[in-house]
Amino acid sequence: MEQPVSRIPYCKTGYFNQLVTDFLAEHPNLRPFYKYSPVKPDFEAAIQAKKAFPQQREVLVAALQEQYKELEINDKVRENIESLLDQQTFTITTAHQPNIFTGYLYFAYKILQTIKLADQLRSEYPKYNFVPVYYMGSEDADLDELGHVYIDGKTINWPTAQQGAVGRMQPEGFEDLIAAVKKALGYGPYADELIALLEKAYLGHKNIQEATLYLVNELFGRYGLVILVPDSPKLKQLYVPVMRDELFHQRSFDIVNETIAKLSKHHKVQANPREINLFYLTETSRERIVKVGDIWKVLHLPVEFTAAQLEKELEEYPERFSPNVILRGMLQETILPNIAFIGGGGEIAYWLELQQLFEHYKVPYPVLLLRNSFLLTDANSQQRLQKLGLSVTDLFEDPEELITRFVQEHTNAALVLKDEYTAIEKLFDDLVLKAGSIDVTLEASVGAERTRAVKSIGKLEHKFLRAEKKKFTWQSEQIRTLKSRLFPANSLQERKENFMPWYVTMGPAFFDLILEKMDPLSDQFGIIYQD
């Protein structure tokens, strides 16, 4: 049986900021900061712009083949990698860090959206080929963000003291982590299969980026997804001209700040550039590079360079230089024959700062697309809502406000003292007239008494509502339970939960379900109703 899906505007969810809604609406305040419409993009124009940009396709394919050499890969993946040599092949890309066990549900949503869009574009533009790509942000060093997973109300943390790029960290202690995940997931027809997959990924590979490469390939390889790990000498070599310019001339600082000055008039800025937007990467650290006089220093490390030494280091070891958020996107677009990037609201926000930087380096700016967002509801939750006479969309409200509205709509008592407020106002209007006729100075006293009387009515109204709510205790608890179940920690489900609780029940069919409901160019939030 087909699972139904409904959609509501992002602005009505209460969980997305103004920048997201303005971006989708192509608001004039924001429209100058991106090139193509996010809901009706001109893909042909993006393709032509990319065709005019010199691509090192042989280098890309060689790097990918090297990254995949230890993996058993699906024929679709192999064909997609080889097809990147063809000048008529282009990529659809999403990017994410290597969160342990993939992190949040939206990780899967982003990847599935790239797959769906690539499929659609192959049909719409048959003279071209399109390959879905997951670009792994393995150089991210934010372990607090990447080193935990949330399952069934519990946060499972990876207690490691390692530092530096998370992708290069060794998966130590994952036997205990996987045991904790197994316990949290409980029984399911696909539980053993999933746990075996996690063990092969994290216990059978030397670092997190290799484990993530294996895991994501096993989960999504059947769709032809290509995974790119940019932490590679071959790939970083392609970016040396930009990195050299950054180290010696620091142009990005002024260019991006100029954009920010305009953007910040209407929206909060997501990322601020530094004078040098590159880190120095070692096996155990990722530290900022700063220029002090004629010397380039690496913060917190006994490493420094003269101009000649820095030039030599960059040429011989480009993989030791790691772009921050300001330069990361341009590295991606230099490496890949990419025409569209799918990101969340935060990612879109920082990409909006970068268009002028792309123009300066003559790198084509891609179509920006907001990732699809979903709420997955189960049959039990739907039945409870039906009994209450509520819809899933009602749960986007604050639960206490929803309960108040529910009680007011279902009670027989007059809880809103509208007539009483009107009567009080009329009474005191008359008293003001009388006071004025006796002594004008009495009007202030009447005003003070009016304020006290209105406050008293408000207190009574609150007490009436509180007393009436006691008659709706069961319904109130149901509403709170449903809210916490579908919006864990009062957050969107996709920003908290992991894919695994659904996978242990449905297996690979879970991803097929999401893929079916994907609308890559949607400007609406989706609700999927499961049996």
pLDDT digits (tens, 9 = 90+) for 238-252: 999 999 999 999 999
Distances in Å between the Cα of 368 and the Cα atoms of 343, 380, 522 are 8, 37, 13
320/410 same-domain check? no
106/25 same-domain check? yes
Distances in Å between the Cα of 250 and the Cα atoms of 75, 243, 263, 327, 364 are 44, 9, 21, 12, 21
245/226 same-domain check? no
339, 43 Cβ separation under 8 angstroms? yes
Structural domain contains residue 382: no
412/310 same-domain check? no
| Residues of the domain holding 407 | 396-489
Judged by DSSP in three states, 91 sits in strand
Q: What percent of the chain has pLDDT over 70?
A: 94
Structural domain contains residue 388: no
403/369 same-domain check? no
Q: What is the pLDDT of residues 68-108, one digit of tens each?
A: 999 999 999 999 999 999 999 999 999 999 999 999 999 99
194/132 same-domain check? yes
471/333 same-domain check? no
Task: Give pLDDT, residue 419.
Answer: 64
Report which secondary-structure segment, H or E, holds 185.
Answer: helix 174-185
Extended strands (E) in 159-277? 226-228
Greater pLDDT, 252 or 411: 252
332/403 same-domain check? no
Structural domain contains residue 44: yes
- For residues 279 and 294, give the distance between their C-alpha atoms in angstroms, rounded to a whole number: 18
β partners of residue 279: 288, 322
416/461 same-domain check? yes
Structural domain contains residue 379: no
Q: Report whether pLDDT(1) > 60.
A: no
Q: Which residue has the tokens 């400007």?
A: 523
Q: What percent of the chain has pLDDT over 90?
A: 80
Could you tell me the strand order of the sheet in which 286-292 lies?
303-305, 295-298, 286-292, 278-281, 321-323
425/464 same-domain check? yes
Which of 267, 299, 325 corresponds to the end of one domain? 325
Structural domain contains residue 389: no
Structural domain contains residue 95: yes
Which of 299, 325, 351 corresponds to the end of one domain? 325
Q: What is the pLDDT of residues 19-52, one digit of tens each?
A: 999 999 999 999 999 999 999 999 999 999 999 9
Overall domain count for the chain: 3
pTM of structure: 0.89
485/502 same-domain check? no
422/469 same-domain check? yes
Structural domain contains residue 447: yes
Structural domain contains residue 390: no
- In sequence order, the 6+-apart residues with CB closer than 8 A to the CB of 106 are 344, 371, 373, 494, 495
Q: Which two tokens stand for residue 478?
A: 């149901």
Q: What is the pLDDT of residues 166-179, one digit of tens each?
A: 999 999 999 999 99
